[in-house]
Structure 1
Amino acid sequence: MAEENINNSLEENNSSINIKEEILNYLHYWKWFVLCLILGVLGAFIYLRYTPEVYQSSARIKILNESKGLELSSKGGGALFSDSKSLENEIQIIKSNRLLAKVVDSLDLHIRYFIEGQFTSKEQWQGALKLVYLEPNNKIGWSRFNIEVTESGLNISKGEEHLDKFSINGYNLNTPREGFPFLIQSKKWIKQHIGLTYIVTVQPISSAANSLSNSISISQVGATEILQISIAGENRQRSEATLNKLVQQFNEDGVIDRQLVYQRTIDFVDDRFLYLEEELDSIEDNKKVFQQDNNLVTFGSDVGYSMSKRTSSEQAVLELENQIALANLLKEPIYTDNLSSLMPENVGLQSVNTNGMVSQYNKIVMERENLIASAGEQNPKVQALDRQLLDLKSNLKTSLNSYFEQLNTALDRLKSQENSAKGLIKGMPQKEKVLRSIERQQNIKENLYLLLLQKREEAAINLAITSPSVKVVEYASSSGRPISPDSKGIYLKSILVALLIPFGILFLMFKADTKIHDKIDVLNNSKRIPILGEIPELKSEQKLFSNPHDRTILAESFRILSANLKYVLTSNKKDVANIIYVTSTIKGEGKTFVSVNLALSFSSINKKVLLIGADLRNPKIAVTDGSKKAKGLSNYLFGDSDSWEQYLQKSIYNVDYLDVLTAGTIPPNPTELLSNGKIEMLLEEAKHLYDYIIVDTAPIILVSDTLLISQHADATVYVTRAGFTEKKLLGFSNDLYLNKKLNNMVYVVNSISDGNKSKGYGYNYGYGYGYHSEESVPEVYSWTWFKEFIKKKIRGL
């Protein structure tokens, strides 16, 4: 009952024990974890030591609506143009290679300076020296130069191989050399860098602009019109200067685009001024000549009412002709094939439809030019805008023709009214008609001239006060800490990987390991069978309990085994020997070793012991002075004699208390011999002559010899071997126990190594006290002591 309660308790607490044992299993290899941890931290330190730090620099800008111009006259119809772009268009413009190439060229970003180190190079910005590259921008290629600072001057070479090396006295190169198309300008404090080597790399501006475009990230801040421009780089000063220059260049680019529209309007008006001045001069000359030739000064007021009516008709005709003249001014730009030219806007036409289409046309022209600048003429959006411009031109032509027809119809009607009014003045001289016609032409040209002069002044003022494209919300600034590498993350990852590598290897080893290694493995696979003892792995030549006074760990382990075995023997006999079978599952698990040493252990305490070699197929007992081939058990079982004592041999160890009956001659039919009944007679007689009978039997899974005589045993010691016995074989022994094929079965775990002892079931707990003569014991406060202390704490959880 007590045994069943213990087994039930073990089963109930199995999950808890498994967790502790898993921890102990891995703790056994703590040195590997510590080594990997040290290597991981060291690797992370080296990586961080020689990996350049990358900082994040950013600036914020707000895109402003483009200026609508300065309105000087409410009659002029407002500004000359208006335009608005989506933020996406602005982002594409900022990242365009055209704009970035200007930034690269202005800051010489295509020339980079590095100070060569032992393992890595560090980039410099506005350092002690500067290269003035002499080749044109379109001829700059990839190249590398090495500049070594010495006490006397500079050593200059080309490429990684240091080709074409030459030296100069001083630190300024004022004359270029062949293959070195640059000048060098150095600061006075370059002498502080004596002994250092500068690596200067040069790349095409287009390539540098493309790299800069890839490194820049632009995002919208929330739902606002503010854009955040960010760039990551090793040198914070270089990144900040790049961002500030980019914002400045983008602003200037937008200002120049708007100024181009104003300048185009001014140029258009200037061209018209030359034509109008010539016409006005011609009309005034004709009027002067006409008045002189006809002696005309004033006309009388005798026409009265008729003249006032005629005057109103003439005024209406004047306005219509003025509109016709203004409409004619639009014919030339409408009928040109150039889609990039802007049309004069708000020049005084009273056609709302025509003015609206002209304004829309100019807006699309500006949008087309911006898209060409950022995406090229082959962009589908540009081609779509071309089609819109062609459609607008066609519509403008139709609208203008319709407006001409409307004006001509109204003009014909007014002229008819004017002729009717003229008929009322029958006495008006023909000369007055000619003079009025001259004056009318003069007024038309003067009004047109004044109107264009006003528009020119508006455009000139807008050109002079063009508002900026952006408002700088925040100038470029850099993060205080590098964004890469992440030192904390790298250390944590390295520690995690360093721990996972040995853990993973050990996990695979444990999963692939099918052998038992200690009594815990045996208990996990066979919980009901008690374990009486563990035998250490022997590293010395002595493998026998040869001296009754041995103080070795081997001797003590068998003393404990023999003592434990007394408690499981079911018979409470007096003057009758206990029969103990020693068996195993397969060959090589150490059953003979256990049998011999167990017999020596009992004999060491002056108990009369008989050791029988019942493994007739593979006899191994060799503790006598006779040969393994001497007669023994098989000869007794096979012969006609009933006396088995004649085959006894004396042990060479502890002669007075240990007799040995070896297996004898290997028979052809061991099964028949063991089942003929003579072994029962032997055991029955020997019981009264000995205190203990130890029987070394055959492996059970290989042959059935042991099962034939198993009923005679008072206890069966089932030997397993650490690192040798397969875990699945324990199921076979468990079945034997459950089916009661072996009497009073107990386990012994043989060959426990020092590694298995470290799991908490070793031999330091009892064998170190007073037994120092033959095997050393770990010193107190050593690593082993500390390890055992930690394991005890874990087992106590």
Structure 2
Amino acid sequence: MAGEFSNNNLEDNNSSLDIKEEILNYLHYWKWFALSVILGVVLALIYLRYTPEIFSSSAKIKILNESQGLELSTQRGGGGLFTDSKSLENEIQIIKSNRLLVKVVDSLDLHIRYFIEGQFTTKEQWNGPLKIVYLEPNNQISSQIFNIEIKENGLTVSKGKDRLDEFTIKGYNLNSPKKGFPFLIQSESWIKNQIGLNYIITVQSLNSAANGLSNSISVGKVGTTDILQLSMTGENKKRSEDALNKVVEQFNEDGMIDRQLVYQRTIDFVDDRFIYLAEELDSIEDNKKDFQQDNNLVTFNSDVGYSMGKRSSTENSVFELENQIALAKLLEEPLTNSDLSSLLPENVGLQSANTNGIISRYNQLVLERENLIASAGSQNPKVIAFDRQLIDLRVNLKKSLNSYFEQLNTSLIRLEKEKTTAKGLVHSMPQKEKVLRSIERQQNIKENLYLLLLQRREEAAINLAITSPSVKVVEYASSSGKPVSPDTKGIYMKSVLAALILPFGILFLMFKSDTKIHDKTDVSKLSKRIPIIGEIPELKSEHRLFENPHDRTILAESFRILSTNLRYVLNPKNKNTAQVVYVTSSIKGEGKTFVSVNLSLAYSSINKKVLLIGADLRNPKITVTDGSKKAKGLSNYLFESGADWKDYLQKSSYNLEYLDVLTAGTIPPNPTELLSNGKLEHLIEDAKLKYDYIIIDTAPIILVSDTLLISQYADATVYVTRAGYTEKKLLGFSSELYDNRKLNNMVYVVNNISESKTSKGYGYNYGYGYGYNKEEVVLKKYSWAWIKNEIKQKIRRF
């Protein structure tokens, strides 16, 4: 139950966070933070001192579109076959390709690096006075490291621990090859100015150096533009700038060479195709000629027009002949009529002049006959003569019509044949057109291709002669004025931050793992309902008793305050009887006997009659008397029948007049039975009439039940806790006793509070010493203690 209450109590109190208190907790260890910050700054200084500075260099280029070369015509035609729309991603991969960077490394000798060895660091040189020239091709060089030490009479070359050779100015020409030596030294004029220096020369293979260059170069787009930015970092700004400019130059040169190769191949390809196209064109033209001859075609349009005209005229002629035949048949019907007085149709559209003349003569005779009959009668000889003429004309008309019929039928037959022939010509024209158009299409394709290739050949020839650049340099390589690494400001900030975090983390773990109480604040958090009436400071010396009533020590003042506060807690009902004060604790070692004795001395120092009783029968500790620890006391009184407690009283060694002591006496085998036999109650009731205060030092509550057996006799129970010793979880048990009213009028006293172990230790020199030892509590201005106190005061006011 105690454990359950303790956990709940701790939970309730831990839910609230006092920011001010947390700050004070950490501020108490400000020296740790200051030392850590100083150490962090020193480490940052050392790091910056021995870390080489890295500079950033960058160049900007724009990739030119290769399809924007010279073109002789705006007719694109099939020109898309010869253009290349590149993406910037492809160009980036080409720039960082090993093939291109190997050329850059080879041309600038980037695989050979020169460093001057200093006392603490090495510094890279670029285009300095020292330069080595390998005797073997660059592509055969392997990774090596050489040391060249420059002396007054020459230089010493070594590879690792092995010395290769030693050169002297007078005895050897540095520019001449020496048997077995891998390189030449370019010049000797620099030696006199370099005496005492030690060069470290690193040599890599071309591929290894190219891979390193690729890793150090970054290429990316500038915003949303088509401009590429090439960036590189390195110790030597000039080396980085030269490398970037060479990369741009090599990339441009590669692109120009590639385009020139394309142009030359285009010319060769077109020349080969010309021969083939010429043969194909000749073959197609021969086929066209043969087809036109075989089909009697001059031109397709004229032949089609002729055929269609022939067909149309034939059809018209047939139509006219059929009309003539129909008209001629119309004249045959009147001729079958024997009546000579009827007229024949005239001018009906017959195209026969003979027939039309006969019809006209016949109608004229009929009219004359009719006129004669009207005047002379039908029997007139002239009328009869007219009749014979009309009959003859009818016979002639029939013969003329028959002859005309034969003529029309013959013409009709001939025209029908011509009509059929014309229809056949028109019907065959689409097929002939299809064949002819196919031949002409092939001819046009070959001609257009021939002309296009001829145009491209001219374009390629001109572009080959005036090849345009691959890139436009927007900005040549330049370097930053300040190094990008190490970041001095950032390193200092990070070191200071890390220096603050480190002690903070350690303290945080210490605070979280700390299960002890350290001051009254910890106690009040965990047991808010129980009042705290006093704090006892940690004593540096062995002097642990309130010996002198006029003592001005911190110990004396703390117990004066405790005794005063306790008087307000007691609130006696009968002022003529003594107040009974129990002093107890949770476990052994928390200082309950120490508090009991000094509280008794504090009351006696103000001339109050005090009885101090040692009720911890199992572990007696009271030693403020002249008698022995083995002297008889409370246990003997409780055990012996008829004994008088006054016979066991002892006088205090420090206040003979006002303080009496009843020690625990002989350690009994059964302290619980003795305390519960009722004699202690008689003792207390009797002593109340003789004393002002009865202070009883009882046993620890958690260890034994002795105190709870006699708790009902107390007017107040002083529960002692010890800073740095009492577990926080034990306060839950004491709170449970308070809630269940097992201890009367319970109050806390926090013992052994150390200013050096708590962030709230500001009160002893000020609170307890105020007005007494002023010369001891005045702090030297601007001392560490003064600064610390000022900071704490400001935080408290905040």
TM-score with structure 1 setting the length = 0.73
SS in 1 for 2:131: strand
For residues 77 and 647 of structure 1, what CA distance do their matches in structure 2 show?
132
Matched, 1:559 2:437: no
* Superposition pairs of residues 235-254 of structure 1, within 5 angstroms: 235-254=236-255
Q: How far apart are 1:261 and its partner, in Å?
A: 3.2
TM-aligned CA distance change 1:576 to 1:68, over 3 Å: closer
Identify the residue that residue 409 of structure 1 maps to in structure 2. Answer: 287
Deviations 1:407-458 (A, max 9, x none): 56336447879999xxxxxxxxxxxxxxxxxxxxxxxxxxxx9999998776
Unmatched 5+ stretches in structure 2:
1-10, 299-449
Residue 539 (1) aligns with residue 540 (2):
yes
Residue 207 of structure 2 aligns to a residue whose secondary structure is: helix
Deviations 1:158-212 (A, max 9, x none): 12x3633524338982134466411223585665543322211000011111111
Task: Note if 1:636 corresponds to 2:632.
Answer: no
Q: Distance in 2 between matches of 1:566 and 1:546?
A: 21
Q: For 1:692 and 1:408, how far apart are their aligned partners in 2?
A: 147
Q: Tell me, in whole angstroms, the C-alpha distance in 2 between the residues paired with 1:18 and 1:452.
A: 90
Task: Please give the alpha-carbon distance, in whole angstroms, between the structure 2 residues aligned to 1:108 and 1:34.
Answer: 51
1:24 correspondence with 2:24: yes
**Which residue does the alignment assign to 1:60?**
60
SS in 2 for 1:26: helix
What's the counterpart of residue 523 of structure 2?
522
Find the counterpart in structure 2 of residue 319 from structure 1.
none
Code of the residue aligned with 1:258 in structure 2: it is: R
Give, in angstroms, the shift of residue 725 of structure 1: 0.6
The aligned residue for residue 46 of structure 2 is 46
Q: Which amino acid aligns with 1:516?
A: I
The verdict on how the C-alpha distance between 1:404 and 1:118 changes in structure 2, with shifts beyond 3 A counting, is farther
Give the deviation of 1:733 after TM superposition. 1.2
Residues 768/150 of structure 1: CA separation in 2 closer, same or farther (3 Å cut): farther
Aligned partners of 1:771, 1:451: CA distance in 2, in Å? 116
Shift, 1:405, TM fit: 7.2
Matched AA of 2:288: A
Deviations 1:641-693 (A, max 9, x none): 24111111122222232211111112222222212221111111112222221
Alpha carbons of 1:73 and 1:725: their partners in 2 closer, same or farther (altered >3 Å)?
closer
Report the residue type matching 2:247 in the other structure: L
Verify: 1:164 aligned to 2:164, yes or no.
yes
Matches within 5 A, 1:120-131: 120-131=121-132
- Once the 2 structures are TM-superposed, how far is the Cα of residue 18 of structure 1 from its aligned partner? 1.8
Pair 1:450–1:37, CA change in 2 (3 A): closer
Written as runs of structure 1 = structure 2, the 5 A alignment for 1:633-712 is 633-712=634-713
Q: Does 1:230 align with 2:108?
A: no
CA-CA distance at 1:539 after TM superposition: 2.5
Letter in 2 for 1:514: T
What is the CA deviation profile of residues 302-342 of structure 1, one whole-angstrom value per residue up to 9, with x for unaligned ones? Answer: xxxxxxxxxxxxxxxxxxxxxxxx66x34xxxxxxxxxxxx
Report the 3-state secondary structure (helix = DSSP H, G, I; strand = E; otherwise coil) of the residue aligned with 1:595: helix
Describe the SS at the equivalent of 2:582.
Answer: strand
Residue number in structure 2 paired with 1:598: 599
1:145/1:201 contact within 8 Å kept: yes
Verify the 8 A CA contact 2:762 2:789 in the aligned structure 1: no
Q: Distance in 1 between matches of 2:584 and 2:451?
A: 128
Task: Name the aligned partner's letter for residue 527 of structure 2.
Answer: S
CA contact (8 A) 2:175 2:187 kept: no
Task: Write the distance in 2 (CA, Å) between the matches of 1:619 and 1:94.
Answer: 92
Q: Return the offset for 1:226.
A: 2.0
Amino acid at match of 1:146: N
State the shift of 1:14 in Å.
10
Contact 1:760 1:791 in 2 (8 A): no
- For 1:527 and 1:454, locate their aligned partners in 2 and report how far apart those are by CA, in whole Å: 102
> What is the CA-CA distance between 1:519 and the residue it aligns to?
0.6
Establish whether residue 135 from structure 1 lines up as the match of residue 136 from structure 2: yes
Task: Provide TM-score, normalisation by structure 2.
Answer: 0.73
Q: Which residue of 1 aligns with 2:716?
A: 715
Give secondary structure in 1 for the equivalent of 2:508. helix
Percent sequence identity is 73
Residues 535, 749 of structure 1: 8 Å contact kept: yes
Q: In structure 1, give the amino acid aligned to 2:145.
A: R
Q: Judge conservation of contact 1:516–1:522 (CA < 8 Å) in 2.
A: yes
Contact 2:154–2:166 under 8 Å retained in 1: no
**Structure 1 unmatched ranges of 5 or more:** 1-10, 273-325, 331-346, 350-399, 421-448
SS of the residue 1:766 aligns to = helix
- 1:783 maps onto 2:784 in alignment: yes
Change in 2 beyond 3 A, CA 1:549/1:168: farther
Post-superposition shift, 1:487? 2.2
Tell me how far apart the structure 1 counterparts of residues 495 and 221 of structure 2 sit (CA, whole Å): 36
Kindly tell me: are residues 782 and 576 of structure 1, through their superposed partners in 2, closer, same or farther at Cα, counting changes over 3 Å? farther
Change (3 A) 1:483 1:144: same
Query: Does structure 2 conserve the Cα–Cα contact (< 8 Å) formed by 1:552 and 1:774?
Result: no
Distance 2:59 2:629 in 1: 95
Question: Which is greater in Rg?
Answer: 2
Asked if structure 2 preserves the Cα contact closer than 8 Å seen for 1:172 and 1:183, the reply is no
State the alpha-carbon separation in 1 of the partners of residues 678 and 139 from structure 2: 111
- Name the CA distance, whole Å, in 2 between partners of 1:231 and 1:123: 16
Counterpart position of 1:485: 486
Question: Could you tell me which residue of structure 2 aligns to residue 503 of structure 1?
Answer: 504
Question: Which amino acid in 2 is paired with 1:673?
Answer: L
Partners in 2 of 1:792 and 1:145 — Cα distance?
66
The answer to whether the 8 Å contact 1:628/1:664 transfers is: yes
Q: Which amino acid aligns with 2:62?
A: K
Amino acid at match of 1:578: Q
What do residues 724-752 of structure 1 show as CA deviations (whole Å, max 9, x unaligned)?
A: 11111111111222222222211111111
User: Which residue of structure 1 aligns with residue 354 of structure 2?
Assistant: none
Could you tell me how far apart the structure 1 residues matched to 2:611 and 2:775 are? 29
SS in 2 for 1:214: helix
Q: Distance in 1 between matches of 2:239 and 2:645?
A: 103
Q: Against the structure 1 CA distance between its residues 487 and 633, is the aligned structure 2 distance closer, same or farther, given a 3 Å change threshold?
A: same
SS of the residue aligned with 2:765?
coil
Q: Which secondary structure state, in structure 1, belongs to the residue aligned with residue 766 of structure 2?
A: coil
Deviation at 1:533, TM superposition (A): 1.3
State the Cα distance separating 1:590 from its structure 2 match. Answer: 0.7
Indicate the RMSD between aligned Cα atoms, in angstroms.
3.5
- Counterpart position of 1:33: 33
Q: Is the 8 A contact 2:553 2:769 kept in 1?
A: no
2:746 maps to: 745
Q: Conserved in 2, the CA contact under 8 Å of 1:147 and 1:155?
A: yes
Deviation at 1:516, TM superposition (A): 0.3
1:764 partner SS: helix
Letter in 1 for 2:38: I
Give distance in 1, aligned partners of 2:510 and 2:287. 105
Q: Distance in 2 between matches of 1:243 and 1:533?
A: 78
Q: Residue 144 of structure 1 contacts residue 199 of structure 1 at CA under 8 Å; is this kept in 2?
A: yes
1:629 is paired with a residue whose SS is coil
Partner of 1:343: none
Task: Say whether 1:622 aligns with 2:623.
Answer: yes
CA contact (8 A) 1:757 1:763 kept: no
Range with bigger deviation, 736-745 or 719-728: 736-745
Work out whether residues 105 and 209 of structure 2, in 8 Å CA contact, stay in contact via their aligned partners in 1.
Answer: yes
Question: Letter of the aligned partner of 1:42 in structure 2?
Answer: V
- What is the aligned residue count? 636
Give deviations 1:574-627, integer Å, cap 9, x for gaps.
443221111111111110111111112222233222110001111111222222
Structure-1 separation of matches of 2:782 and 2:254: 78
